[in-house]
Each structure stands twice: as C-alpha cells, then as structure tokens.
Amino acid sequence: MKAFLGAAAALGLLALAPSAHAARDYVWAAGSSTVFPFSTRVAENFAKKTGRKSPKVESLGTGGGIKMFCGGMGEGFPDIANASRPMKKSEYEACKAKGVKDIVEIKIGFDGIVIAMDKKSPDYNFKLEHLYLGLAQNALRGGQFVNNPYKTWKDVGAGLPANRILVYGPPPTSGTRDAWVELAIEGGAKKFPTAKALHDSDEKGFKAKVDPMRKDGAWIDAGENDNAIVGTLTKTPGALGVFGFSFLEENANVIKGAAVNGVKPTPQTIASGAYPVSRSLFIYVKKGQVGVTPGLKEFLSEFVSDAATGRGGYLQGRGLIPLPPAQHEAAKGAASKLTLMAPPKA
C-alpha cells in the first residue's frame, strides 16, 4: 500500500512538473522582417520534405524577436531568433538572466540596405555623408551640430535632385534600422572631422548626437512591413524608401535603387562589400531545444543546406546573397555540431 501511495505521489509530482513543449509540436522562429521571407520559404520546403507541421515564423523586427527568444526556455518562447544584425552584448546577457545560456549563432548570408524610389523618379548617387546630413536629427553645419535645416536633397549635395527630403524606413525595433544607423548614418557622420573626433573620444556621446533620425516628417518610421513601403513609393512622387535588397529585387519592375559612393546595390557588390550599406544575416538557436522541439534539428539542416543557402539555392532566388563557400561550410558545421557562440563584445 505504501509503495502504491509512493508511486502515485511520484506520478502526481511529474504531472505538476513543467514538461518542455508538451503543448507544441512545431518549430517557432521570430524576428527580422528581412530574414522573414527566407525563413518562411525554408519552413515551406521543410514541411514538404519531412511531412512535419510547418514551422511558425513571425516578423517582429530583430530586436523584438531576440527579446521574445531571450524570454526563457520551453514551449512559450521561440526556438529561433531571426536577425539582420549580430546579437548585442546586452541581449546576450538578458538571455542568460532568463536561463537561455547555450545559444548557437548561424550566419545564413548577406543583404544590402537599399535606398529605393519609383522607377519614374530621377536617379540618385548618394555619398554616405549625404545620407547623414539629409536624415539625422542633428546635422553638422559649420563644425556645429544643429537641428537639421535641410529641406531638399539638392540642399544636401549639389549633384542630387531637387526633390524634398521624404524617406520611409524601418522603425527602431528593426535590425534593418540598427544596421542603417550604423552603416549609413554613423558612417556618413564620421566623414566629418568634428564627428570623427567625437566618436574617437566619446562613442556614447557620438551616438547620442548622431543616431536619432529626423522627427519633422522628413524620415517616417514605416513599420516592419517592407512591402508596404514599396507600395508607398509607387504612390508618393519623390519619396524614397529604405529596406533590404531582396524587396528591391522582388519589385524591380516598379522601383529602382540609388547608388551609394558610386556603387549600385547588386548581389556582387553586396557580397564583396563594395556596396557600403551591406550586412550579414543570422539565425540564433537554443541548443537546449534541439531534441525537444520536434523537427528543430531537421529545420536547421534544411536552412543551411546547399539547396537553400548555397550558391544557386532557392533562397538566392528570393534575394539572399549567398556566403562564400568557406563561410557556408562553417554555417553547416555550426548547425550540425551546435557550436555555441562566443559572448558578444558590444
């Protein structure tokens, strides 16, 4: 009788204990709007090949996806964070604080951030400093930071069209926004000795002055739906849009991309780094969920396969710029061996 009661008590405790993924039988990924179409396509192919339930993929922006990913372990949190920039040190520490300690970083390819406009619009050839001067809240003038006074692109640079400055771009939660600010806005500001000296002596002070985008209607946060920005460009004469290269390629019949520092965004110039506003794309995976979430290991294998992210793979057809062969092999190795990422330095 005592043995029976002991067994019953043990079973009762097991029933009360949290069971990983008892209510979820599918892979869950969340994050970057840029990575979203690639992850969705992999999910579709994974479901067709394996017969498993299609993974759930959410477009929340890189920051929003990583925040949810770092919320904890178990069925209530994503297995994967899609990211259009590297994970930050603060995010990594937030993950650790919630018990998300074993994280695998997998680079899946490259993307360029484009400045696009309707095909009927004049061509633009920006310099990085033009993008900073035209779109930052605090513009340098006479060696001083002032509230941005520029109304047209011709005011910013003599060779640019006389169109008013009106740009639709990603919100602060987006990895595209983070990369845009770092590569284009900060990159342009550092072309000026005053800003470069501030950066070298006080990086936090530099970011506080340079990073905020205009709030007077010249820059408009357009949400995470990049296709909506494309639609706006075709209906708003003179407007420009900032988003990932894949959306330019998908809509090349109605929009075109501006040159930056004399370089047009193409798969070749983005992969080589010649196009100045280029970045790497990532997925982050909880090693502890592999073997617990049904199909997670197989989904990762599909994502890094030659058929998906290799040269000529089906994601290249969706606008992903493939990694060089050695980096692609490294990505396959990270997915197979579940190699843990090193803590970010910043």
User: With helix as H, strand as E and coil as C, how does 235-288 read?
Assistant: HCCCCEEEEEHHHHHHCCCCEEECEECCECCCHHHHHHCCCCCEEEEEEEEEHH
Predicted confidence (pLDDT) at residue 7 exceeds the cutoff of 50: no
Provide, for the chain, the percentages of residues in helix, strand and coil under a 3-state DSSP scheme, each rounded to the nearest 5. Answer: 40, 20, 40
Cα end-to-end distance, the chain, whole Å: 60
Q: For residue 321, which phi and psi values (nearest 5 degrees)? A: -90, 115
Predicted confidence (pLDDT) at residue 22 exceeds the cutoff of 80: no
What is the average pLDDT across 203-226? 90
Spatial distance between the Cα atoms of 178 and 187, rounded to a whole number of angstroms: 12
pLDDT band at 244 (very low <50, low <70, confident <90, very high): confident
In the numeric block, which tokens belong to residue 131? 């993008």
Compute CA 249 distance to the chain's CA centroid, rounded to the nearest angstrom.
17
Q: Show Cβ contacts of residue 207 under 8 Å, excluding neighbours closer than 6 positions.
A: 186
pLDDT of residue 17: 38
pLDDT of residue 14: 38
pLDDT of residue 317: 84
Q: In the 8-state DSSP scheme, what is residue 109?
A: E
Mean pLDDT of the chain: 90
What is the average pLDDT across 199-220? 95
pLDDT of residue 318: 84
Q: What is the pLDDT of residues 131-171, one digit of tens each?
A: 999 999 999 998 899 999 999 999 999 999 999 999 999 88
Write down all domains in the chain, each with its CATH number in brackets: 28-111+280-337 (3.40.190.10), 112-278 (3.40.190.10)
Bigger pLDDT: 81 or 9? Answer: 81
Q: Show Cβ contacts of residue 197 under 8 Å, excluding neighbours closer than 6 positions.
A: none
pLDDT of residue 224: 66
pLDDT of residue 23: 61
In the numeric block, which tokens belong to residue 79? 């297995």
pLDDT band at 227 (very low <50, low <70, confident <90, very high): confident
Predicted confidence (pLDDT) at residue 12 exceeds the cutoff of 50: no
Predicted confidence (pLDDT) at residue 15 exceeds the cutoff of 50: no
Predicted confidence (pLDDT) at residue 21 exceeds the cutoff of 60: no
Give 323-331's long-range contacts (Cβ < 8 A, gap of 24+).
323/107, 323/108, 323/109, 323/110, 324/271, 327/107, 328/304, 330/107, 331/106, 331/107, 331/108, 331/304
Q: What is the pLDDT of residues 253-308, one digit of tens each?
A: 999 999 999 999 999 999 888 999 999 999 999 999 999 999 999 999 999 999 99
Question: What is the reported pTM?
Answer: 0.77
